[in-house]
Amino acid sequence: MKSALSIVAFTVTFGFSVLLIGLLFGFPQSNFDYTKSTKTNCYDQTRYKIERLINQDIRNGERRDSMIRRFERKSSEKMTISEYSVFVKRYVDKSERLNDSGLPAEFQESWREHMKAWRDYSNFLNKQKYGSFSNVEFNDYDIEFNNEINRTWYNTLRIGESHGASFNL
């Protein structure tokens, strides 16, 4: 009985001293923030998905450019607008199918605006098969479409970067 009473007295005294020290000097804090960890993990997943989508689009564009160069090397004549429009359409069809679900709404909106700019350009080129513009008019429109594509591209990259994505362009 005496040893059981000693154990109880020791436990109470030890508990009281831990409480007193904690009150005087503060209780130890865990540095691990579960909320922050979950947010970081989501942030990393979003960053990764954005980078993956952009890199897939870049690869699609590189394939388009490679096919155009290959075509131009084989042909002794300059590529026609009609021929060029086929390569642009293939690129647009492929990049429009990239999955942007689960990405932030502002990124999706920007990405879709960028793809709309490409689709508009592709449609413009497709209509040129019938040659409704002079060379000067065509060049002016071509510059406008390319400016819009570039504007939407850089906006999409900027929004992606705001979500932690980084791009090696």
Q: pLDDT value at position 5?
A: 63
Nearest 10 degrees: Cα torsion 140, 145, 147, 148: 150
User: Do 103 and 53 touch, CB atoms closer than 8 A?
Assistant: yes
Q: Where are the alpha helices (DSSP H) in the chain?
A: 2-25, 34-74, 81-96, 105-127, 135-162
**CA pair distance 5, 2, nearest whole angstrom:** 5
pTM value > 0.85: no
Phi-psi region of 99 (alpha: psi -120 to 50; beta: other; left: phi over 0): beta
Summarize pLDDT for 2-58 with one digit per residue, the tens.
666 666 566 667 666 665 566 666 656 555 444 444 445 667 899 999 999 999 999
**CA pair distance 118, 148, nearest whole angstrom:** 9
Summarize pLDDT for 91-137 with one digit per residue, the tens.
999 999 999 999 999 999 999 999 999 999 999 999 887 766 677 88
Q: What end-to-end distance do the CA atoms of the chain give, in Å?
A: 79
Q: pLDDT value at position 1?
A: 67
Q: What is the mean pLDDT of residues 54-80?
A: 89
Query: For the packed helices 105-127 and 81-96, what is the interaxial angle rounded to 10 degrees?
Result: 160
Q: pLDDT value at position 80?
A: 83
